[in-house]
Amino acid sequence: MTPSACWPVIAPTFNGRHIAEYFLNQSVAGHITEVPDPGGSGLTVLRFEVLNTDVFPLTPTADPRAQLLSPHLLTAGSEWWYKGAFWLPEGFPTSGLEWCQFVQFFGAPFEGSSPWLLKSQESPGVLMWQRRADYAFDQPWVGPPISSLIGKWTDFLVHLKFAEAGWVEMWINGNPITFFNPATSYNPNKEAETQKLLMRTNDPGVNDAGPNSVILQLYHKLNVPKTPVIVYHKPLQIGRTRGSVGG
């Protein structure tokens, strides 16, 4: 008997292989496209392109962005897994780009930044997660130099409880993240090292007015010296179990 005959295959709740499958596309027309994998797998991926002119009213903000929002799956008290990957091509700016976000979850009223995100930060030139002012802009995770990520896929896997008494677990390229590693993290509140970070993921007045989406992005600080900025994303998968997203 084959394994598939013994156990049912659990599909993800959302598998965003095509642009049309996302709940909302917030980008200038033609700046998110379906293209062959730059890594040569033969699969189709999503190419995001942003110019300094990709701002309000063409996109939602005064800083340039292109983004795809998943359906509104994250509801109060719910628990989810989501998985994706991004590719920074040759020419991705390692200087002159103060910050650039690749993925986050968020929802109305969209006050400030989201509870969880992955972004590049020019100073100190790394991939990181930085939290909001109510956490003193601490950095639960500081990752590898952005220069080391160019020309390859960077995979992320997140396990999240969406609640005021919520939590976050995270894997990068299959490796579990220990938050607040004292060697790398800015930790003004002296949080203990942990692989399951207890925190407000559903925050009154910030992102709790309705269900939240997971968002694939290319969103950066205005006035990058050289544009367009380009990032590729693999399809976003969201499910109730790790197995459903292939984690």
The pLDDT tens digits of the residues spanning 66-107 come to 999 999 999 999 999 999 999 999 999 988 999 999 999 999
Q: What is the mean pLDDT of residues 207-232?
A: 95
pTM of the model: 0.94
DSSP 3-state of 5: helix
The residue extents of the domains of the chain are 14-245
**Is residue 206 a contact partner of residue 101, using CB atoms and an 8 Å limit?**
no
> What pLDDT score was predicted for residue 8?
59
- Cα torsion 182, 187, 192, 197 to 10°: value is -110
pLDDT tens digits, one per residue of 116-127: 999 999 989 999
Domain 14-245 belongs to what architecture? Answer: Sandwich (2.60)
